Chain A
């Protein structure tokens, strides 16, 4: 539905909520009035937020379209209120301009604001450089090798040095593979109680320090994805104060879940960056408060049911998040940091990191929005998820808020 009137909603404009009003959404814009006969939706006093921007989207297509497709991903974005995102696939390294053009062509069919990261090494192997100049000319907004650890430090140097010609930012998930050593979960009291191989915090800080030193040396901007502990945030803060251009995000689930979840042995809690301790979780929240953390990321990573319906350690890591992110995080986030900072972390800042225009709400302007009832809980059911997956750690749990509908790319979709 291209046109809709949202009655009795409170739009978030210029950093604050307006009084309950009527929003006429016409042909993608917040218009003064709507054509006669336009459907009216009772907003029940819900808040209309600028649509969100998701960092860390992996829609699997084309190489693993048996798992998930762009169509599924876009469906998930519309359900969850995302107008755009930054795509980086573990299954598809975008390491040459032909692959980039192919995926851009698929993405373009859906009209959402999806930006792409190019790989800095061919097939994420950290052996041969990708054609970074051509990738940059083709439109990638930065470079990253998925969630791989580039353990060959000389190659890392050469990749960053060569890529510096493009002026693009390098994205890393800091996790030293050698220290990880087949670990799947945070090395803490729960892992030790369960006898599971743990990943120590130092696996993250060692990797982050190495990358920061390289960024300092080569004067290349870097971004850390899914920072999971306070120690890494301290390294980032120090490096930033010394002039290193470094940004970072934290994964949405790391703000909601800690390693005590391990006792449930829920394979949906098996994710690439492990859930760390309650103290780490609190440190991430403090990082959001202090501004060290730039954005909250989604890391939407679909996994088939048969790859999750196994014991924890044999499950394929990954979690989907787009459909449930906002109702899960809005209440705790806005209550602790205020609505303006919450919108910044979920929408404006991630878009800025991806070089995409923000989805701000203003009368008379283009509108991309999500209508949220902050006070009505939602129970997470498998039917909430797009495609054939439902690998969410929140499956079966109750979320504090619920989405009433989204207006993305000139289309209203009520829930």
Chain B
């Protein structure tokens, strides 16, 4: 097994093409295993993984847990609602207490940017970012990349358009770093209140305000979930106007390529960022993304743990 250059997975910004390639190639092998009658391998037998989720999550946590179980790891789920965090325990104390129980890997989701790195700086465990604030969600981007490669053969030279709330999206950030590293051309599109204003460091992507132009040459379109809180914060006037302006509809797809892939990180607001007929239609690869999520997370855990074992 080749080793990753990275010791933890904080995000995809700065991660090398070789590392991403290695993760995706391993994920493809795990993807095959997931199709077998017996889906379990002994790769992480004897290792303990803690899923440390300070934010609500259903699919990401479940996907990680399945990945861990299929690698034969022992898993512990920790959510802030049933922990001492409610009693005022600090993040470091929480981590140190969990670490004292001799764990190996921590999968963390937190509202704060940089929490995975902070935990890595303060512990000996391998840290995997399952989403930190609006910063990064690297395994989501990796599963998006795996899905595109699976359907289109390669990311190199492909046009990927991400539509929606880019400003608050950790999925968009991870995708733009990862996909551009892998040679895809990324276009970002959203309402002016939901796209970043200062994009000097994101100069490898194209910014487009007209959604019809943004999807025209796309090989894959990723629709981002629109959070209802954005309306309360006056960032948008209504779901209705959003849907009519930026929603992925049948009418919009008439402007796109015939075989364009439709993707979504879930959960979907049907009839807002994505119409039901599109979400369930022939272009949609959303359920493939979910399956690939388990494979990608298996690959990430396997490779990071292997790196530690080989060290």
Contact = CB atoms under 8 A, between A and B. Distances in A.
A194 B92 CA distance: 22
Interface string B115-150: 101100010000000000111100000000000000
A190 interface: yes
B96 to A, nearest CB: 11
B36 interface: no
Contacts of B92: 309-310
Nearest to A310: B91
Contacts of B110: 311
Given A310-B91, A310-B92, A192 B198 contact: yes
Interface in A276-315: 306, 309-314
A312 B110 CA distance: 12
A308 to B, nearest CB: 11
B35 interface: no
Given A192-B196, A194-B135, A310 B90 contact: yes
B173 A195 contact: yes
A198 to B, nearest CB: 8
Interface in B95-127: 110-115, 117-118, 122
Contact of A313 (B13, B90, B113, B170): B113
A98 interface: no
A36 B233 CA distance: 74
Contact of B198 (A187, A195, A265, A313): A187
Nearest to A181: B233
B112 A313 contact: yes
B199 interface: yes
A189 interface: yes
Contacts of A193: 13, 173, 201-202
Contact of A191 (B136, B169, B170, B198): B198
A312 B132 CA distance: 12
A194 B114 contact: yes
A196 B173 CA distance: 12
Interface hub of B13, B133, B202 (most chain A Cβ within 10 A):
B133
A272 interface: no
Contacts of A312: 112-114, 118
A195 B118 contact: no
Contacts of B91: 310-311, 314
Interface hub of A190, A191, A195 (most chain B Cβ within 10 A):
A195
Contacts of B112: 311-314
Contact of A310 (B117, B118, B134): B118
Nearest to B133: A195
Given A196-B134, A309-B92, A189 B201 contact: yes
Given A189-B201, A195-B173, A309 B90 contact: yes
Contacts of B113: 194-196, 265, 311-313
A138 interface: no
Interface string A234-277: 00000000000000000000000000000001000000000000
B311 to A, nearest CB: 25
Interface in A175-203: 187-196, 198
Interface in B129-182: 133-136, 167-170, 173
Interface string A196-215: 10100000000000000000
Given A192-B167, A195-B170, 4 more contacts: A193-B13, A195-B133, A196-B135, A311-B114
19 contacts: A187-B198, A192-B199, A193-B202, A194-B114, A194-B135, A195-B133, A195-B134, A195-B167, A195-B170, A196-B133, A196-B135, A265-B113, A265-B114, A309-B122, A311-B110, A311-B112, A312-B113, A312-B118, A313-B111
